[in-house]
């Protein structure tokens, strides 16, 4: 821990403060970004066991009802410190561009901490609406249209040989991820995780790989590209940038990083029909959830109307309802993939040089102009 939140809660902005942000605020933002882990907090305890039960229910054509339990976070003290720092930055003179980025990130981290503390309650839906508030109406419409287009595509050809995600085979996702991380000398450990809903997830120093998933080679290759080049390399590079915001992230930076990672998949020819169907199904699940459907109704819709098998339908629905009880809405983070993909692809088509900033940390499009002068000069892989 870099600084005690009790002390940081009483920070004040110096009268001669102009372009900089006080060091205690910077330390607080970085510390909070490392401590607040929304997806981990909103993943049910023993999720893989309940996932198997729900899939059996769905396979039997019943409407499954989840029995999730959560290990809630305890971030009350940290939330008070974040809120106090945000108020302190807002007092007095108008904030600088950098100060405004810190204020927005403080607010986002406070919401994220509250989400962790609210796991399993109806408060998650309220906080999620604020945290993942829709993008511009034009972006929302474009993402929804793209979702519908991808879901109308013909089912892809069945994949060839399947390998368990955590198999010792050199072609497995676990083996490929470890090889890529080692070859690039990235500062991450690759660890198998049975409860993980996605195929892979990245933390500050670890990359988690879901166990027991049967995957074609294409999915393993794509997931390595997404996690390593879309997430791990920018995080490694962020540690050499001229602002802690590259490592701690700006508001919506984590979201836009997902959009860029999908763009990397598209450029590599890995955003094929199967992958497009997966992303579209997640987006549709969130849209259906927000419209009032329960977990069981979403899972059945994915199975009946969109052809997902029982386990895939349950996993997609679980991702949409993270942190909830299955009857009221959950986190709904999956909508950011398509919306950010639409935004990032359009932005980089018009401003290709801005990718150097996005590739240097967890940076949102809106923060590029302010952070461009602080971007590391070259890509770093940990060598």
Domain ranges of the chain: 138-374
Check: CB of residue 209 under 8 Å from CB of residue 191. yes
Q: In what order do the strands lie in the sheet with 189-193?
A: 189-193, 206-210, 200-202
**Given a cut of 80, is residue 165 above it in pLDDT?**
yes
The pLDDT of residue 129: 94
Q: Which has more confidence, 14 or 165?
A: 165
Residues 332-353: pLDDT tens digits? 999 999 999 999 999 999 999 9
188/229 Cα distance (integer angstroms): 13
**Partners of residue 207 on adjacent β-strands:** 190, 202
187/191 Cα distance (integer angstroms): 13
The pLDDT of residue 14: 38
Check: CB of residue 233 under 8 Å from CB of residue 184. yes
363/357 Cα distance (integer angstroms): 7
The pLDDT of residue 156: 67
pTM over 0.95: no
Residues 121-163: pLDDT tens digits? 999 999 999 999 887 899 999 999 999 999 988 766 667 789 9
Tokens (6 digits) for 231: 């997430």
Tokens (6 digits) for 148: 């519908």
The pLDDT of residue 378: 60
The pLDDT of residue 52: 94
358/250 Cα distance (integer angstroms): 11
Check: CB of residue 256 under 8 Å from CB of residue 364. yes
**Given a cut of 90, is residue 21 above it in pLDDT?**
no
On the 0-12 / 13-18 / 19+ scale of CB atoms within 10 A, 155 is exposed
The pLDDT of residue 132: 93
- Give the torsion sign (CA, 125, 32, 101, 253): negative
Mean pLDDT of all residues in the chain?
90
Residues 47-64: pLDDT tens digits? 999 999 999 999 999 999
Enumerate the H helices of 118-239 as residue ranges.
123-131, 137-152, 173-184, 217-224, 233-238
280/334 Cα distance (integer angstroms): 10
99/86 Cα distance (integer angstroms): 10
144/332 Cα distance (integer angstroms): 14
């Amino acid at each position: 821990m870099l600084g005690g939140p009790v002390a940081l809660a009483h920070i004040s902005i110096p009268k001669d403060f102009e372009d900089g942000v006080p060091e205690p605020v910077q330390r607080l933002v970085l510390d909070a970004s490392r401590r607040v882990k929304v997806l981990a907090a909103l993943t049910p305890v023993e999720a893989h066991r309940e996932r198997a039960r729900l899939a059996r229910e769905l396979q039997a054509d019943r409407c499954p009802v989840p029995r999730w339990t959560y290990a809630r976070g305890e971030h009350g003290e940290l939330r008070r410190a974040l809120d106090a720092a945000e108020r302190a930055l807002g007092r007095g003179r108008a904030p600088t561009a950098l100060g405004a980025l810190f204020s927005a990130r403080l607010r986002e981290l406070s919401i994220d901490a509250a989400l962790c503390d609210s796991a399993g309650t109806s408060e998650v839906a309220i906080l999620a609406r604020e945290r993942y508030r829709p993008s511009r109406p034009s972006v929302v419409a474009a993402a929804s249209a793209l979702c519908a287009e991808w879901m109308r595509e013909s089912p892809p050809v069945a994949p060839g040989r399947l390998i368990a995600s955590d198999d010792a085979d050199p072609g497995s996702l676990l083996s490929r991820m470890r090889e890529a991380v080692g070859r690039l000398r990235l500062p991450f450990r690759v660890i198998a995780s049975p409860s993980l809903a996605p195929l892979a997830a990245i933390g500050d120093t670890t990359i988690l790989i879901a166990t027991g998933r049967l995957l074609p080679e294409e999915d393993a290759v794509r997931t390595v590209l997404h996690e390593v080049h879309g997430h791990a390399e920018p995080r490694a590079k962020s540690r050499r940038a001229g602002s802690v915001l590259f490592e701690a992230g700006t508001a919506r930076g984590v979201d836009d990083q997902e959009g860029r990672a999908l763009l990397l998949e598209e450029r590599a020819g890995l955003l094929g029909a199967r992958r497009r169907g997966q992303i579209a199904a997640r987006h549709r699940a969130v849209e259906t959830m927000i419209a009032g459907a329960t977990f069981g109704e979403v899972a059945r819709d994915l199975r009946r109307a969109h052809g997902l098998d029982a386990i895939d339908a349950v996993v997609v629905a679980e991702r949409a309802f993270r942190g909830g009880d299955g009857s009221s809405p959950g986190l709904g983070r999956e909508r950011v993939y398509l919306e950010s993909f639409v935004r990032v692809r359009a932005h980089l088509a018009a401003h290709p040089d801005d990718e150097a900033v996005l590739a240097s940390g967890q940076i949102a499009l809106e923060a590029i102009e302010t952070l461009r002068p602080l971007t590391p000069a070259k890509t770093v892989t940990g060598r």
